[in-house]
Amino acid sequence: MSRPPKPGSRRALRTALAVAGCVTLGVAGSAAVAAATPAPHSSVTANPYNPSYGHPYRHGVIPTVQQHQKMKAWDATHASPAATGPETLSYGGGIDGIGVQDGGKSKVYLVFYGSQWGSQSTDGNGNAKFSGDPDGAASAAQQMFKGIGTNNELWSADLTQWCDGAGVAAGAVACPTNLPAAQYINYQSGGVLAGVWEDTSTASPATASGHQLGQEAVNAAAHFGNTSAAANRDAYYVILSPHGTNPDSYQGQYCAWHDYNGDSTLTGGAVSSPYGDIAFSNQPYNMDSGSGCGVGFVNSPGTLDGWTITMGHEWHEMMSDQNPAGGWTNHTGSSYDGQENSDECAWLSPGTSGGAANVSFGSFGTYAEQASWSNDTNACAISHPIVNHGGSTDTVTVSSIPAQSWTVGTAVSLQVSASSSAGKTLTYSATGLPAGVSINSSTGLISGTPSASASGTATVTASDSTPASGSANFSWSVGTSGGGGNVITNGGFETGTLSGWTASGVTSVTTSGPHGGTHAAQLGNTSPSNTSSIAQTFTAASGDSHVSFWYNVTCPDTVTYDWATATLKDNTTGTTSTVLGKTCVSSSGWKQVTASVTAGHSYTLTLTSKDDNYTGDATYTKYDDVATS
């Protein structure tokens, strides 16, 4: 007899997301829709194949490779003669006094929009990673923005030619001589990543509108405490939609765009902000579009090529045109009319003049990027000299930090050493530190008491007001103590196997979202299964008083049918205790369980994940870092 449908089924939602995620390449944009009346400063295109045709808020929109080819073919037969060089950019006069992100340190906030990103954990570089991110895109985004302005990279230096403010006339094609350095974009040394937020308060819409994306950017400003116009003058919020969604109907049309909340042409209208103007971008999970959004454009297989190319594209355009189109855009009347600096160099083949290429950010990795237009060299520049405009050439250096071994419950103290070549006062920050440990922003002292066993890599950054900065990475591990010894074999599953354990059902070792290290055991999977378990028999060592483990259950059902559970049998006394009662939540995140043991006794620990083999709501559980102490 078959079981009746369960209440709260998620099949309808999952089907909707699967349909939204279908890939359609080479589909022409609407050629018969009249363009909406533009707001002042909006860039408008007559090209019916441009994804911004009829959607003027899609500033800096990156067409798919196929759409780009159609746009170029149409332009070749419809372009009007250029008043100046066809790719020359000119200044738009600013909107609300904002043209470019001048004079300060760009602050990039990555906003992982919606519960579909899944449970959050930490990768080996101290970055947030998510169980709903099959391509590892989140880690790449964080590393890329950390790496901008490091390793003497000159890809971002193209931005240092652009300016705004008093003395810069609307229509100017070059910045005036003797303009103060504070009115130019600085070279962004030492990285620009300022914060990461997974907003799980709601599911990301299957097809988010421009207004919804803009509202999420305003929500992010509040989350990060940027509650004034001054705090948001140098801020930029990248709204990253999850795998399987179709924000602003990007599939088959384009790959990303940027805007600001005050643009009245946004679908749904401008977004009210009590915190001043908010610059943001729509960054779809564009690997879902395959080669149309750049998969394999530079490298092979190059899964994340288009992901980093489009993020870099939009950041360059935001920096030079923060409130579109008050910054630097094309007004020549040529086929480039209305485009921004990166639009003019989109999808140029690697190896050609100004073509896309790999850019090395040193220890932060190497990523595919595209060139951006340079007025001062009249070319698409994948590399450009840093223009200092008479400003400070201060260099900040952070001394190397050795690997650290710490203990749960024991206070730590680590003094970071850094210097400014100009003798300026430094401010310190750090990412990737273990729970319970932090850095003093004024002194650079890392201190606190680690609260859980784990391992990872931290990045320490020192910066001054110019804003020059420097960074250093160090690895750390936190172990347990208590007089005993860890007698569990392969408790962290770092062998990449289940050696030391007796397994039954559907079991594996995964590298996706472990609690510590690089591996975790996974019981069950995303397909229907039955009961799966792993067990190990051990003898508590002299001084051991506890056994502990971490679990992370994904259970979209109810505890009536599916659950995670664990038992501990004392083989010496013959008694069995349930140390983890039946647990079913949609996404628990990593939780620790600790149970008492007696030295010299033999025990069998059994870790279980129960799924009722029902289509549409498979349950699975990860276990990690099993240890005695």
Phi, psi torsion values for 72, nearest 5 degrees? -65, -40
Contact residues for 164 (Cβ-Cβ < 8 A; gap 6+): 91, 94, 98, 99, 100, 102, 183, 326, 327
Section 104-124 average pLDDT: 94
Section 417-432 average pLDDT: 85
pLDDT at 259: 97
pLDDT at 24: 29
Exposure string for 397-409, b = 16+ CB within 10 A, e = fewer: ebeebeebebbbe
Section 483-507 average pLDDT: 84
Q: Which two tokens stand for residue 319?
A: 């920096």
Residue type at 282 in one-letter notation:
N
Is 81 a residue whose pLDDT tops 50? no
Query: Tokens 């007696």 belong to which residue?
Result: 598
* Max intra-chain CA distance, the chain: 92
How many C-beta neighbours within 10 Å does residue 627 have?
21
Is 2 a residue whose pLDDT tops 50? no
Region of poorest pLDDT, from 8-12, 277-281, 546-550, 608-612: 8-12
Classify strands 546-554 and 620-628 as parallel, antiparallel or unpaired: antiparallel
pLDDT at 11: 25
pLDDT at 463: 85
pLDDT tens digit sequence for 583-605: 999 888 889 998 999 988 999 99
Section 267-295 average pLDDT: 96
Q: Which domains does the chain have, with CATH numbers?
A: 61-381 (no CATH), 396-479 (2.60.40.10), 502-628 (2.60.120.260)
Is 149 a residue whose pLDDT tops 80? yes
Length of the chain counted residue by residue:
629
Section 548-576 average pLDDT: 94
Is 157 a residue whose pLDDT tops 70? yes
Shortest CA distance to 3 belongs to which of 618, 619, 613?
613
* CA 504 remoteness from chain centre: 36
**What is the torsion angle, in degrees rounded to the nearest 10, for the CA atoms of residue 29, residue 239, residue 264 and residue 318?**
-90
Q: Which two tokens stand for residue 541?
A: 């060592």
Contact residues for 77 (Cβ-Cβ < 8 A; gap 6+): none
Is 92 a residue whose pLDDT tops 60? yes
Q: Which two tokens stand for residue 492?
A: 């962290």
Cα–Cα distance measured from residue 245 to residue 259, given in angstroms and rounded to the nearest whole number: 20
* CA 342 remoteness from chain centre: 21
Cα–Cα distance measured from residue 359 to residue 377, given in angstroms and rounded to the nearest whole number: 20
- What is the SS3 assignment for 592? strand
Contact residues for 526 (Cβ-Cβ < 8 A; gap 6+): 618, 620
Give me the chain's average pLDDT, please.
86
pLDDT at 82: 41
Is 398 a residue whose pLDDT tops 60? yes
- Looking at the chain, the whole-number percentage of residues with pLDDT higher than 90 is 59
Is 217 a residue whose pLDDT tops 90? yes
**What is the torsion angle, in degrees rounded to the nearest 10, for the CA atoms of residue 449, residue 453, residue 454 and residue 459?**
10
Q: Which is more confident, 350 or 405?
A: 350
* CA 123 remoteness from chain centre: 12
Is 467 a residue whose pLDDT tops 70? no
Identify whether the C-beta of residue 458 lies closer than 8 Å to the C-beta of residue 443: no
Section 77-84 average pLDDT: 51
- Looking at the chain, the whole-number percentage of residues with pLDDT higher than 70 is 89
Shortest CA distance to 305 belongs to which of 67, 137, 117, 152?
137
Is 37 a residue whose pLDDT tops 50? no
- Extract the runs of DSSP E, i.e. beta strands, from 229-278: 235-240, 257-260
Contact residues for 380 (Cβ-Cβ < 8 A; gap 6+): 344, 345, 348, 353, 354, 371, 372, 373, 374
Strand partners for 127: none
Cα–Cα distance measured from residue 104 to residue 184, given in angstroms and rounded to the nearest whole number: 9
- What is the SS3 assignment for 378? coil
pLDDT tens digit sequence for 224-244: 999 999 999 999 999 999 999
Band the pLDDT of 13: cuts 50, 70, 90.
very low
pLDDT tens digit sequence for 303-355: 999 999 999 999 999 999 999 999 999 999 899 999 999 999 999 999 999 99
pLDDT at 44: 60
